[in-house]
Amino acid sequence: AQSVTQPDIHITVSEGASLELRCNYSYGATPYLFWYVQSPGQGLQLLLKYFSGDTLVQGIKGFEAEFKRSQSSFNLRKPSVHWSDAAEYFCAVGVNQAGTALIFGKGTTLSVSS
Amino acid sequence: GAVVSQHPSRVICKSGTSVKIECRSLDFQATTMFWYRQFPKKSLMLMATSNEGSKATYEQGVEKDKFLINHASLTLSTLTVTSAHPEDSSFYICSARDRQGGSPLHFGNGTRLTVT
């Protein structure tokens, strides 16, 4: 069965510091992987996605993620965090490129300290 | 970019009443829409898949008679929570898939339902 694990429930990072949010997935076939961000009381915004090809994926807002098949991971990174990045981040695996029937991780709350 | 509008953003209703949540794709046609429920500090849980012109497909454990889904047009799906109870209080989010396919889902901004 498909599953997504985000080991870190809450992370606090200083503004300007680098960030890495972890995501591990379990899926029998080629995974379609997504990272979404959710601001308080808001819906989800797609940050980036991986379908195939280059394992390092660039997204919006300066985020990137690296797909590592051997580790079943798709960690999200950002070199320098801004206070506006404070939000909830969800990793998800889908069965196709359209991301239908997404399975979400439980999310990681990012707090940014000044 | 593609926009999905969800309305209302917040609603408070009394136990036993019904409430309808609308999900509209504003600049594209959506053959498929999805309804998710999000509990506090929890992930999003897929409730059902709504296909235009046909019955919705519900996930295991979701009561179809309680969460009525209608997808009458290519731009509108509605979720009606019937005979609401306090335990139905949650954050409900819809998403839509562009009819032309190939693009990831577009999410609405969610609806915070509080049942008193």
Segment B78-102 mean pLDDT? 89
Interchain contact A42–B (C-beta under 8 A): yes
Segment B67-83 mean pLDDT? 93
Q: Are β-strands B111-115 and B90-98 bridged in parallel, bridged antiparallel, or unpaired?
A: antiparallel
Banded model confidence at residue A53, pLDDT cuts 50, 70, 90: confident
8 A C-beta contact, residue B93 and residue A44: yes
B43: chain A residues, CB-CB within 8 Å: 90, 104-107
A105: chain B residues, CB-CB within 8 Å: 43
- CA B47 to chain A, closest CA, distance in angstroms equals 10
Banded model confidence at residue B9, pLDDT cuts 50, 70, 90: very high
B44: chain A residues, CB-CB within 8 Å: 44, 90, 102, 104
Banded model confidence at residue B93, pLDDT cuts 50, 70, 90: very high
Interchain contact B57–A (C-beta under 8 A): no
8 A C-beta contact, residue B55 and residue B109: no
More confident residue, B77 or B27: B77
Residue whose C-alpha is closest to residue B75's, from B37, B21, B33 = B33
Closest CB to B109 among A43, A98, A99: A43
Residue type, A92: A
Q: Are β-strands A73-78 and A103-104 bridged in parallel, bridged antiparallel, or unpaired?
A: unpaired
For chains A and B, count residue pairs whose Cβ atoms are closer than 8 Å.
Answer: 62
Residue whose C-alpha is closest to residue A38's, from A112, A113, A110 = A110
Inter-chain touch A105–B107, beta carbons under 8 Å: no
Q: Quick check: B40 pLDDT over 90?
A: no
